[in-house]
Structure 1
Amino acid sequence: MAKNIHSDQRYIIGLVNNDAVIINEIYKRCAAKVKSWITFNNGSEDDAADIFQEALMDVYRQAKYKSLELTCPIEPYILLICKRKWLNEIKKKSILPVTNSEEDLLHIGEDTFANADELENQEAQSKLFFRAFEKLGDRCREIIEWSMKGEAQEKVAESLGVTYGYLRKKKSECMASLIKLVQSYKTEE
């Protein structure tokens, strides 16, 4: 089956040719999304800048030495690579086994393009989620943010100065409100 090369392939060509205008466009299209995702996931702006640079170097090497052909838009593709790199960074810091080594990132296949397409869909879902999330009250946002960090609920309750029972009940109510808002936005589209 022939691959449909995406029009964003021009960014890959520009990157390999060190075209400053194209590289600047890649930064404009992708850097803010990467920064936003990494800072939302316990990283700093410096971490985001480093990860973005590393991802561009990986894409460059893929294009130069492995004839990378882009079959999806560049943003989800680069964001996917950055997400993988950041998750690996977090795992390294917490002394957990790393899922993808540098070498694994050089063997990006069709599944990565499918993942990037899926990521684009997830991005649309994320926008709906954040739009709804912003409409919640301060307490609900605080509870959901704490819960998303993956800490034990007892610890979250203690940090928020509430009982474990109250936290569970309130979290359930907040999630129900969030889901309702997301669904109402979906029907608007």
Structure 2
Amino acid sequence: MSKSPHPDQRYLIALVNNDAGVINEIYKKCAGKVKSFILFNNGSADDAEDIFQESLVDVYNQAKYKKLELTCPFEPFLLLVCKRKWLNEIKKRSILPVTKSDDSLLHVGEDTFEQAELLEKQQEQTETFLKAFEKLGDRCKEIITWSMKGEAQEKVAETLGVTYGYLRKKKSECMASLIKMVQNKL
């Protein structure tokens, strides 16, 4: 049983037909995220442009010559292709063995679509978490931020100028509020 194409298949059709308007839309939606990922992972703005462009060409070739059909949203799929391409590039630059040849880099199977869907869900969850976190009071944000740094709670309590017991109780209350907001989608 095969899945039917995702409505975002229109992006692949636009690439194949060189539809400038929709290709512009792809750049607006995705280029900034790719740039952020690559800059965060030891790359430059030029690297980001190159990887994004190469990935679009790869996706275009898959769509035109191998009849690629999306069964997931386009954006996380493209971001996953870019991420794989950049990680491979980092390995090449560090003269480590490259794990994937360029041919297999864009091997598209159900696992690729599943990973792209998972990536999209993770992004949504992260956004929900960050929105909920921002709604917390300053003291809760401070306690959670310090606690997430991996320091011993005794040290966190000392740094924040509170007792260990107060910190544990307050952290528990803050986390409960945060979890409740996330579960209720704010």
TM-score of the two chains, using structure 2 as the length reference: 0.73
Cα offset, 1:187, TM superposition: 3.1
Q: Paired residue for 1:16?
A: 16
Letter in 1 for 2:34: V
Q: Choose which of 152, 155, 159 in structure 2 pairs with 1:169.
A: 152
Structure 1 segment 40-119 matched on structure 2, within 5 A = 40-119=40-119
SS at match of 2:112: helix
Q: Unpaired runs of 5+ in structure 1?
A: 145-166
Note closer, same or farther for the CA distance 1:28–1:70 as it changes in structure 2 (3 Å cut): same
Q: Please name the residue that 2:127 is paired with.
A: 127
RMSD (Å) for aligned C-alpha atoms: 3.1
CA–CA separation in structure 1 for the residues paired with 2:102 and 2:118: 23
Q: What letter corresponds to residue 152 of structure 2 in structure 1?
A: K
TM-score, scaled relative to structure 1: 0.72
1:186 aligned partner: 182
Counterpart AA for 2:74: I
Q: What is the CA-CA distance between 1:169 and the residue it aligns to?
A: 3.1
Q: Distance in 2 between matches of 1:169 and 1:34?
A: 35
SS at match of 2:72: coil
Name the SS of the counterpart of 1:69 in structure 2: coil
What amino acid maps onto 2:2 in structure 1?
A: A
Q: Percent identity?
A: 59
Alpha-carbon separation, structure 1, partners of 2:11 and 2:110? 19
Matched to 1:90, the amino acid is I
Gaps of 5+ in 2: 157-167
Compared with structure 1, are the counterparts of its residues 63 and 130 closer, same or farther at alpha carbon in structure 2 (3 Å cutoff)?
A: same
Change (3 A) 1:35 1:132: farther
1:91-128 CA-to-partner distances (Å, cap 9, x unmatched) read 22222222222110242111111111111111113324
**In 2, distance between residues paired with 1:93 and 1:128?**
36
Q: Secondary structure at the match of 1:43?
A: coil
Larger Rg: 2
